[in-house]
Amino acid sequence: MATYTLNINGREYRADVAPDTPLLWVLRDHLGLVGTKYGCGIAACGACTVHLDGAAVRSCVLPVSSVESAKVTTIEGLSEKGDHPVQRAWDEVDVPQCGYCQAGQIMSAAALLRRNPNPNDEEIEQAMLGNLCRCGAYHRIRDAVKLAAKKS
């Protein structure tokens, strides 16, 4: 066990955990930030996507010991009132079906638009490739990313 001080959503959190504990479990089990979801646990589905210094990462395979000096953003901290351009576009397009994959989808889309504010279809497809949706909401996800780019 070790004590880690983490910067998450602009706040400082402390967690007493083993160094190899995945960030996902620190977020969910130790800090109560359960917006980030567990899907596969092997970086294959994208449900656990958060931002590390603004870049999309899979928190299920990221040891907490490797993130201590970075700024973590989860879906809870993406915007104060749920009004990030991606969240507004998601709402307008009515993207979610069951909703399980959606936090990860939104975090990947937000990271894409941060580094590329006007992505083309191929760039959107490439950036969202690692986020699976069992409900098959892919068309609406793509439409919402495009709408969010216009809103940004």
Residues that bind ligand FES (CB under 6 A): 38-41, 43-48, 58, 60, 96-102, 133-135, 137
Whole-number minimum distance, CB 134 to ligand FES, in Å?
A: 4
Cα gap 14→129, rounded to integer Å: 33
Structure tokens at 38: 């567990």
The residue among 66, 70, 67, 75 whose CA lies nearest residue 108 is 75
Q: Which is nearer to ligand FES, 99 or 117 (CB)?
A: 99
Closer to ligand FES at the Cβ: 115 or 134?
A: 134
In whole angstroms, the minimum distance from the beta carbon of 47 to ligand FES comes to 5
* Separation CA 111–CA 88 (nearest Å): 15
Which residue's CB is nearer to ligand FES, number 86 or number 137? 137
CB 118, min distance to ligand FES, A? 25
DSSP per residue, 79-144 = -SSS-SHHHHHHHHHT--SS-TTHHHHHHHHHHHHHH-SS--HHHHHHHHTT---TT--HHHHHHH
Nearer to ligand FES, 127 or 137 (CB): 137
Smallest distance, ligand FES to C-beta of residue 25, A: 11
